[in-house]
Structure 1
């Protein structure tokens, strides 16, 4: 009887530890969805300062092609967001509507269309928990609706 209780307790603890490790393993990544209605499924992304790198996976749950309703996920400081988006318009779709090598861009995915998925990974080490960050879609005209905040948690 004692052996049975011990084995049951050990299995419960192992399951709890596995779920805790799974949650911990995912704290340095997030999946964000976009759609044909020009919406992200979240308005805030939290990045733990303990992460070395952070990964964003963008899924376009709509059906329209990227030329008509493409979306990307771009992170900048809040102060730089609008300028990055405005200057990116002239860069065109081939450059994901971002000026090539724009140092103000912290992380960015490719522009994707309906049913597609893309990922970006960027370093967290230079992010400051006291800075205001944002994310947005740089497809022309989308930043007005498709934007949110990025919080770096110390």
Structure 2
């Protein structure tokens, strides 16, 4: 009985102080068919930091069919994707110092996993954000909505 009361109290405390860690952690998969496992990532605006774990479930190496995850304003998707292509694999297909990019993971190949952890202080609750893969040619179809609400 005491354990249940303590667990309930702990839950109430975590709810009163914002999002729980698990609400701020997201699992995402990408495959050799240029597809993410979801078209929507949603995290509470109370998350001060978000972690996205990207797993490449395919078999192709990073040089041939690599994937990353990049967060930007929806209005900037095409420009970030195009500039990323020119930045090359050494820069994980993200233009160095690109202020339009809120967060970006490294490019991974088949069987690999990476975790991107970033602070949300530059995001606004209810903002119009997109997550995408900036590997050349992928950004046009490998994207989804990133909700911060």
* Pairs within 5 Å for 1:75-154: 75-153=71-149
1:25 Cα offset (Å) = 2.5
Tell me, what secondary structure is at the counterpart of 1:79?
helix
User: Kindly tell me: are residues 34 and 17 of structure 1, through their superposed partners in 2, closer, same or farther at Cα, counting changes over 3 Å?
Assistant: farther
Aligned to 1:55: 51
Aligned to 1:45: 41
Measure, in 2, the Cα distance between the counterparts of 1:70 and 1:48: 29
Tell me, what secondary structure is at the counterpart of 1:142?
coil
Spell out structure 1 runs of 4+ moving beyond 6 A: 14-21
1:102 Cα offset (Å) = 0.6
Measure, in 1, the Cα distance between the counterparts of 2:84 and 2:47: 29
Tell me, what secondary structure is at the counterpart of 1:32?
strand
Name which one, 1 or 2, has greater alpha-carbon Rg. 1
User: Kindly tell me: are residues 62 and 101 of structure 1, through their superposed partners in 2, closer, same or farther at Cα, counting changes over 3 Å?
Assistant: same
Measure, in 2, the Cα distance between the counterparts of 1:59 and 1:143: 17
Aligned to 1:33: 29
TM superposition score normalised by structure 1: 0.85
1:131 Cα offset (Å) = 1.8
Measure, in 2, the Cα distance between the counterparts of 1:123 and 1:11: 34
Aligned to 1:24: 20
Alpha-carbon RMSD:
2.0
- Listed as ranges, the gaps of 5+ residues in structure 2 are none
Aligned pair count reads: 144
Deviation by residue 1:11-32 (Cα, 9 ceiling, x = unmatched): 56667778997x9330111010
1:126 Cα offset (Å) = 2.5
Deviation by residue 1:6-64 (Cα, 9 ceiling, x = unmatched): xxx4556667778997x933011101000111110010111211111111111001111
